[in-house]
Structure formats: structure tokens, C-alpha cells
Structure 1
């Protein structure tokens, strides 16, 4: 579809073209999270084969990924604020898909750790440019919902990664699973490159776009940091989201193991109603855990993300503080439901109770990511988003996943296989911190808003 035929009389893209762009970006983001989160189920046989501790698993899946993902994301996003964002995202997609497949060739812990570093390198260029593209494709009063819809890639990709990993392990092994999902992402590269066009920056914003000219990437980053230094709400939102992500990403990694360790054979009752074609003859607790938690993530994640985007678009027009207050309320409500989910001995209640904190824990995505697009001028959006992603992922993935693993290791002597149950419960304190930071940030948003 050409850029000229996709525009209406007002110079903006047609509704059909905008829907297509959002669909492609969601599809790419879905594969981003399939490749990122499939290790949540594959880590069970990986841990057994390599003889790893929970801390080592957390470092491999979280810290190894976050180290390069967070660091490289900022210069890549600074480049995206000057150059073609679609081309940059296409390159990123190709790189992370390739390194996901390379994970399947690892013969020891060190090799797998390095391959995960490569996945992080690729995914560093996949998200911040997409935020900026969406902001330039949708008007301000539609952005929270558009960004929330984009964020559907998180629960959809995570659920597919968890379930597909479990299914592939039933027929093949963890190495084949990495290779298959990695190679599956490569055909998306030409789809993104040749059907999504680079939009004009800031075309829906009240303030004119400041030309970046030949400004160097370093100087551009410095200018963005100067602007952000005057925006306390940016740092409050970033740290609040990071605290929540310590649990959000931690749950993605550790809940399948928690289910297997604490419920084991009981999980078979959950999928008794499923068609036989979806349950191999050699199915065991690992596949049952994959179906169980995949369903929780899919149902709860989509509901929570859409709720957050809808509420912030509705109330944020009159009160900018809503972009922080909506997530604050959601985080506060997450704690009691998560406590019930991990403490109950009833597997049925675990399922129902886990859906609620999964939903509430992802409410923040639409409002917070939308707010970031309004805290800086349009030509700084990708870089500012990357600074946020640096904070969120370095703390959320890099610290959160290993922290829960470390707590589990420390509690193992006292609680045995139940140590993950209490490690997850301990992590609820991070949701409390996230709620407090969001509430404190809310009054500052009005003064930091750039308009539009």
C-alpha cells in the first residue's frame, strides 16, 4: 500500500492503513515476547540438564538479556529519532530472531548466556521506535488505546511462548524449540519493511517539531537527558513501572516452575477438558503448567492492558494525573489477589485469583507509555522511551528475575519445593512500591506535559 493512497483529505493516514500498521507492529511485538519469554518454560529442562540453581536461571534469562537490551537500546533509539524507524526495527527483528535460534545450539550454560545476550542486542531496537511510530500514526486522544493495543503483544507473545514451548518439549527438546521459534520470526522482516511506511514526525502535535539536522547521536541523547532532567514525572513513572516489572517479568519466568513444584500431578485436571489432539500421549506436568499459565497470561493480560488504555484515554483528557493514578490503583489492588493466588492450596482458585493480578499488573502499559510520548517533543520520543526501557528492563528483568530466584534458593532449606511460593509472595512488596511511586508522581504530570 503506497503512502499517497493511504492518506485522506486531511493529510492523515486512512483508518484502514493505520489498522494495518498497528496489526503488523503487534505481530512483531508478539514475536518479540515469544522469543523473550519462551525460556520461562524451557528453563525447566535446561536447569535439569546443566544442573543450575534458581539464581543461575534468573541471571541467564533476566540479567543476560537485560544487560545489552537496556544499554544498547538508548543509542539505537537516538538513531531512530533521526533515521528511518521502520528500517531500524526490521534490522532488530532479524537480529533477535537469529540469536533466538542460536540459543538452540548452546552446549553449556556459558554459551546459552552469551546467546541470550545476542537476543537482548536485537530486541534493543524493537520497542522504542515502535512507540514513536504509533505516536505519529494516532492522534493524542487515541494514543493510550493504540499503545495498549500494541502492548497486547506482551500477553499474546508470552502466552504463545509458554504454551508453544511446552508443546514442543512434548515432541522434541528445548534446543529444537529455540530454533523453531527463532526461524519463525524471520519472515516478518520483509512484511514490516515493505508494508509499513515511515510517518512524518509530530504531525498530530500542537507544537512544531524541532529539526534535528545533522546532530550527532551522542549530542541528541544529551539534549534528551537535559529535557528529562526537568521532568520529575518521567523518573517517577519510570521507577514505578520498573518496580512493578520486577514482579511482572519475575512471574513470567517463575510461575510455571511454581505450578510444577507446588501442584505437580494436580495440573492434569486443568486440561482434562481439552481436545486430545492438543495433549500428546507423553504429556506431563510441564505441558500442563504451560497450558495453565498461558491461559492466565492471555486472558488476564489482554483484559488489563485494554482497561488501562481505555481508562487513561477517558479520564486523561481532563486530568493528566490519571495517567499515573490508574496504574497506582491497579498496583495496590494487585497485592491481595496475588497473595491469595500463591497461598491457596486449591488449583482452581489459583487459576481464578492469578488472572486478576495478571490483569492489574499490566494496566500501566497504555497510560504510562502514552504519557512518555507527551513529556518530550516529538523528535525526542524514541530516545526518551529508550531511557525508560533502560530503567524498566535493567531493574525489572535484570534484577527482578534473579532476585526471585535468589530468594527461592535461600528459602529452599526451610521450604523445599515450596520455596518459590514464598519467594513470589515476598516480591509483592515491589507492587506496593510501584503504587506509591505512581501516586506521588500523579500531581506532577500536568506541569510536565508538552501539550497535544
Structure 2
């Protein structure tokens, strides 16, 4: 069951993040600015993804979570394919809105399902494994986007990955079963459906809700911003050095006239996959091990990880050597995703089982509206502002400015750690 959820979450992030690597040819083909790219890649997706997530999650707390996820997968896959037919910024913006509409039903129900599949002492690791879909899907999105664009074109890349998602819809529906809601929680916990008023009044009264939500949102501004902008950064700042970095690669993996986009997709996909998997698993294992007796661990571990990214950002962003940039960004990727298992698990314990999907959707609403909606835009706008003075190097310094969001995230999580024990629901 967990494997099926990981596969769907992988497609969720393939379709969500493929636009990052395709931003380079899209910008050239449709004559877009960096600000337009960030609106298309961030706000367009975030608008409906965040606002529809709450009513869909309320439905998931009352009905079949597996059917909701099946429908969501079909919608976001079809809209990803539709992106390949866009002829203007408006067309692409609207298609990305459609992707957001579909993906609004893909995550919060899965968090609720996992909490009913696994007991409390294993949930951080289970949610971490589910979150493997983020680096795997992001890496595949970047890799497939670069390869398919190099051989076919950016339009074909959207169409192919969209159709692949549609192909797994019936397999997913036949594989996943609906577990007993709250079956692994303590006896006596509320079972009946909760109203939105009950959910909101339960969680907003807890300081941990605000600390976890705003801390994760601050980190996501940089996390989503990096996933979207780093491919463009590697092409702009390291375009000439990328072919030399991959000189060892067999000719079978390189088309006749490879451009820097293909090499950037190989480069960043490796960073996402290796660093992401290591960081997510580390965070989940640490939380499950130390969180049994110290609930504050679920916020303290991610806070330390965010602070630890700063020296690696300074090394990776300012260097002109790919041999320094690669390990630096590998560590950055690992540390920036440590938060997923611990924070998601902590959030599942701020509410009872009958309101987990809705509570998760409220968390995702805050996290993604700020993280996706503003992260891409902030870095893109800073890059545009610096472009007249720095040219293609403007993105390098825009990314460096964005590290302030990790300082904010760490501060909020450090403040949250001592409050978690009181707010915890078994």
C-alpha cells in the first residue's frame, strides 16, 4: 500500500516539477520574463492547489480517500498533458491551474491513510518513505524534461509524462484499499466526522500549529524556489562547464547536438535523488528514535538542519567550479528535506483521526500558498531586479538572498519544539 502511494506521489512531483527544467525552452519559445515564469510555475499551480485542498480533505474525512486520490491523479495527469498544447503565457498559466486543481486531492488524504496503516512509533519513517516521492518525482521530472526536450521538444515532454500518469490510474485504484479510520489510535478517540469549525478550533488554539505551519512554509519558499530555479541557474551560470563535467558519460546518453539543458537535467536530477532520499530518511529515523520520549525532537531536528544549510549555500552558490557546487548542493538538498518526516508526523498528532485529512489540508494550505506561491516569485523577482547589473549571474545572487527563509524557518521551529509535548494527541 505504501509503495502504491509513493508511486502516485512520484507522479505528483514529476508533473509538478517538470516545469522547472522546461522553463529554459519555454522562456525562449514563448518570450517570457523570469517573473512570468515564476507566476506560471508557482502561483498558477498554488492558487487552486491550496484553496481546493481543504474542501477536498473534508470530503476525505467523510468518504473514500482512495477514490478521491484516484480522481485527483487522473485530473492532474490530463492537465499536465494539456500544458504541451499551450500557445501563450495565458494558455500555460491556465493549464497549470488545472494541474493544481487535480493535485489538491493527492496529498492530505494520503497523510490520513498512512496514519491508519502504521502505528505511532513507525509513522515518521512511513511518512518519510511516502515523501521519497518528492525527490524521486522531482528528479524524474527534471531528468525526463531535459531528455525529452533534447530529443523531441518541451511540448512533447509535457504530453508524454501526462499520459504516463493517466496510464497508472486503474492500477492504483485496484491496488489501494481503504483502512479502518483511526484503527491504530488509542481507544476512545473521536470517530465521527468533524466539522470544519471543530477542526479549525482544535488546531489554531495550539501554538505548535502555527510554528510548524509557518516554519515549514518559510522553508518551502526556498525549497520550491530552488527546485524551480536551479536548472535555469545551472544553465545560465555553468552552461559552458557542464559538458566537460559529463565528459565521462557514454555517447548513448547524449544526442547528436546536446545543449546545456540536457547536462543540467543530469546534474540536478542526481542532486535531487541522492541528496533528497538521504535527507528524508535521516529526518524520519531521527524523529522516530528520539521522539518517543522527547516530542520536541520533531521540530528541533529540522531546525538544526535548516541552519546547517547556510555554509553549503555560500560554497555552492558562489563557486564557479561544478566540482565544488555538486557536493555542496547535494548536502543542501539532503538538509533541506530533513523536515518532512518529523514535521508531518507531528502535525498528524495535533488532531484526532477523524479530522486528520482536513487538518493536513489546512497545513498544506499555509505551506504551499506561501511556499509555492511566493517562493518562485520572490527569487524570480529578485533575479529580474538584478538582471540589468549582473546579467545571467543575477539568478546566482537571487538564490543566495533566499537563504534568509531558512533562518526564519529554523527560528520558528526552535520556538515550537518545547510546546509540542503539551499539544500532542496520542
Scaled to the shorter chain, the TM-score interval is: over 0.9
Q: Distance in 2 between matches of 1:417 and 1:195?
A: 48
Q: Distance in 1 between matches of 2:277 and 2:222?
A: 18
Are 2:12 and 1:32 equivalent residues in the alignment?
yes
Deviations 1:100-128 (A, max 9, x none): 00111111110100000000000000000
Deviations 1:206-228 (A, max 9, x none): 14342335x7xxxx212100101
SS at match of 1:204: coil
Matches within 5 A, 1:323-362: 323-362=298-337
Deviations 1:228-258 (A, max 9, x none): 1221101100100000000100000111111
Are 2:370 and 1:395 equivalent residues in the alignment?
yes
CA contact (8 A) 1:258 1:421 kept: yes
Matches within 5 A, 1:66-77: 66-77=46-57
Match of 1:22 in 2: 2
SS at match of 1:398: helix
Matches within 5 A, 1:399-414: 399-414=374-389
Aligned residues: 426
For structure 2, which runs of at least 5 residues remain unmatched after alignment?
none
Range with bigger deviation, 324-333 or 221-230: 221-230
Matches within 5 A, 1:256-335: 256-335=231-310
Deviations 1:321-343 (A, max 9, x none): 00000000000101111121100
SS at match of 1:185: helix
Deviations 1:55-94 (A, max 9, x none): 1100000000000000000100011011000000000000
Are 2:137 and 1:162 equivalent residues in the alignment?
no
What TM-score, normalized to structure 2?
0.99
Are 2:225 and 1:245 equivalent residues in the alignment?
no
CA contact (8 A) 2:30 2:87 kept: no
Give the deviation of 1:439 after TM superposition.
0.1
Q: Distance in 1 between matches of 2:50 and 2:421?
A: 28
Are 2:182 and 1:208 equivalent residues in the alignment?
no
Give the deviation of 1:172 after TM superposition.
0.8
Deviations 1:338-373 (A, max 9, x none): 121100111110001110111000000000001111
Q: In the alignment, which of 89, 102, 105 is matched to residue 82 of structure 2?
A: 102
Q: Distance in 2 between matches of 1:342 and 1:277?
A: 31
Q: In the alignment, which of 143, 150, 153 is matched to residue 130 of structure 2?
A: 150
Are 2:417 and 1:442 equivalent residues in the alignment?
yes
Give the deviation of 1:415 after TM superposition.
0.8
Deviations 1:248-290 (A, max 9, x none): 0000011111111111110012222222211111211000001
Match of 1:82 in 2: 62
Q: Distance in 1 between matches of 2:243 and 2:33?
A: 27
Match of 1:236 in 2: 211
For structure 1, which runs of at least 5 residues remain unmatched after alignment?
1-20
Match of 1:135 in 2: 115
Q: Distance in 1 between matches of 2:284 and 2:354?
A: 23
Q: Distance in 2 between matches of 1:247 and 1:386?
A: 21
Q: Distance in 1 between matches of 2:152 and 2:139?
A: 19
Are 2:179 and 1:199 equivalent residues in the alignment?
yes
What TM-score, normalized to structure 1?
0.93
Give the deviation of 1:145 after TM superposition.
0.3
SS at match of 2:330: helix
Deviations 1:167-212 (A, max 9, x none): 0011111111100000000122112211111000111111434233
SS at match of 1:161: helix
CA contact (8 A) 1:247 1:396 kept: yes
Q: Distance in 2 between matches of 1:443 and 1:207?
A: 27
Deviations 1:274-320 (A, max 9, x none): 22211111211000001001101111000000000000000000100
Q: Distance in 1 between matches of 2:378 and 2:308?
A: 23
CA contact (8 A) 1:241 1:434 kept: yes
Match of 1:171 in 2: 151
Q: In the alignment, which of 403, 408, 420 is matched to residue 433 of structure 1?
A: 408
Q: Distance in 1 between matches of 2:296 and 2:80?
A: 40
CA contact (8 A) 1:224 1:380 kept: yes
Matches within 5 A, 1:41-80: 41-80=21-60
Match of 2:356 in 1: 381
CA contact (8 A) 1:37 1:161 kept: yes
- Backbone CA RMSD of aligned residues: 0.9
Q: Distance in 1 between matches of 2:360 and 2:253?
A: 40
